[in-house]
Amino acid sequence: MQVTRRAFTVGALVAAAGSMSVMVKAEGNKTVALLFDSLVSPFWVSGIEIMREKAKAKGWTTLENISNFDDNKQFEQVKAMISRKVDGILIIQTDAKAVIPAIRAANAANIPMVHFNRPPAKSDAYSVAIQADNRKIMQDTVNFMVSQAKQMGGKYKACILIGDLGDVNAIQRRDGFFDVVNKNKDIIDVVARIATEWNADKAFAGLTNAIQANPDINFLVTSSDFLHPQIEQVLKAANKWHKKGEAGHVLFGGFDGDEGAYARLQDGYLDACGVQNLFLEVDMAFGAFEDLWAGKKPDKLLLDPGFVITQDDLMAKRDQMWGYTVWKKMQKG
């Protein structure tokens, strides 16, 4: 059975969050719909938990629903929330184009819509999207890795695991990687570009083939941390899974900032991780609603600058890393 990013199981976290329509009651006079396409990644589970807490603190009521990657179902959910006269709709859609009719419906009902982490396709419909500055975060991550490579000296054979190119996030992360390595061709030679399509099995097979063809790969970047287990498995089999400072260590960079990234930074295997600031993104989304309710018209796209976390500053920055919050809960569980 293939394992994809969408089908990635997160165990107790998903069970705790639930996958059915629920209502979270709170004091206040605003009701916001939280419409997710899934709760099958730690990022989404952490996100909805943070949203619940922050909404409760503001005295808002939240209505939640999950579309299970069904665009038609999600459109019906949007129409149902419009019928319930919610004050705002926060949405995570599966398809950037398919969501446009939902935006138009919300516009017609004069209900603000905010997209979380995934912007819609360009159209004349108005909504606000909160997104990580994927390209810049990846640039900063790879710049750190290149600085480490220069300190250690020598030449590097690089490999990048690219996400689904139907996902704008994957395209931006790929471009951020090449923005940096193309300026450092004197020491970085990219010998493998692995198209994972956000599929763990494809990532495993592609990286296995890349290592066999280029056993001297020593610089590796993944476009999503959820692929870490497959990367670890392949590098272990090739006797290339070593901590920073040990002989044979592969410079390893990640993106997202999940609990696995935190653990591998702590254990010394991951050198750097570009982190989406989930806490800030929720604040930005809720702030957009408040601006819209006040009659303001924010830009259609608001960017989370994110940050890079490394082994050197892990203790100082980890409380800002959403994956550290997940990791702590897993230790308690």
Does residue 196 lie in a domain region?
Answer: yes
Same domain, 118 and 171: no
Average pLDDT over residues 148-156: 96
Please tell me the predicted confidence (pLDDT) of residue 332: 84
Please tell me the predicted confidence (pLDDT) of residue 6: 44
Same domain, 104 and 155: no
- Alpha-carbon distance 211 to 235, whole Å? 8
**Which range marks the domain in which residue 111 is found?**
12-126
Does residue 281 lie in a domain region?
Answer: no
Same domain, 263 and 152: yes
Average pLDDT over residues 201-207: 98
Average pLDDT over residues 301-320: 97
SS3 state of residue 294:
coil
Q: Using CB atoms within 10 A of its CB, is residue 59 exposed (0-12), middle (13-18) or buried (19+)?
A: exposed
Same domain, 228 and 153: yes
Does residue 61 lie in a domain region?
Answer: yes
Does residue 293 lie in a domain region?
Answer: no
Same domain, 155 and 226: yes
Same domain, 204 and 139: yes
- Using an 8 Å Cβ cutoff, are 81 and 89 in contact? yes
Same domain, 99 and 224: no
Please tell me the predicted confidence (pLDDT) of residue 29: 87
Q: Under 8 Å CB-to-CB from 7, ≥6 apart: which residues? A: 40
DSSP annotation of 225 = G
Does residue 99 lie in a domain region?
Answer: yes
Does residue 291 lie in a domain region?
Answer: no
- Alpha-carbon distance 86 to 191, whole Å? 52
Res 182 pLDDT > 60: yes
Q: Treating both helix axes as pointing N-terminal to C-terminal, what angle do 200-213 and 228-237 enclose, rounded to 10 degrees? A: 30
Single residue among 102, 126, 150 that ends a domain in this structure: 126
The confidence band for 41, taking pLDDT boundaries of 50, 70 and 90, is: confident
SS3 state of residue 131:
strand
Same domain, 269 and 139: yes
Does residue 236 lie in a domain region?
Answer: yes
- Using an 8 Å Cβ cutoff, are 162 and 194 in contact? yes
Res 3 pLDDT > 50: no
Same domain, 181 and 259: yes
Average pLDDT over residues 178-185: 98
Average pLDDT over residues 36-43: 89
- Alpha-carbon distance 188 to 149, whole Å? 9
Q: Which of 15-24, 66-75, 116-125, 199-208 has the lowest mean pLDDT?
A: 15-24
SS3 state of residue 333:
coil
Single residue among 126, 158, 184 that ends a domain in this structure: 126
Q: Under 8 Å CB-to-CB from 153, ≥6 apart: which residues? A: none
Q: What percent of the chain has pLDDT over 90?
A: 86
Single residue among 85, 110, 126 that ends a domain in this structure: 126
Average pLDDT over residues 79-90: 98
Same domain, 115 and 171: no
Res 329 pLDDT > 60: yes
CB atoms within 10 A of CB 254: 30
Res 22 pLDDT > 80: no
Same domain, 103 and 138: no
Report the domain count for the chain.
2
Identify the CATH number of the domain in which residue 226 sits.
3.40.50.2300
- Using an 8 Å Cβ cutoff, are 262 and 317 in contact? no
Please tell me the predicted confidence (pLDDT) of residue 333: 66
Please tell me the predicted confidence (pLDDT) of residue 28: 54
Same domain, 117 and 154: no
Q: Which residues pair with 307 in a beta bridge?
A: 275
Question: Among candidates 6, 64, 55, 15, which has minimal Cα distance to 329?
Answer: 15
The confidence band for 148, taking pLDDT boundaries of 50, 70 and 90, is: very high
Does residue 87 lie in a domain region?
Answer: yes
Res 200 pLDDT > 70: yes
How confident is the model over 257-300, as pLDDT tens digits? Answer: 999 999 999 999 999 999 999 999 999 999 999 999 999 999 99
Q: Under 8 Å CB-to-CB from 45, ≥6 apart: which residues? A: 10, 13, 14, 16, 17, 39, 326
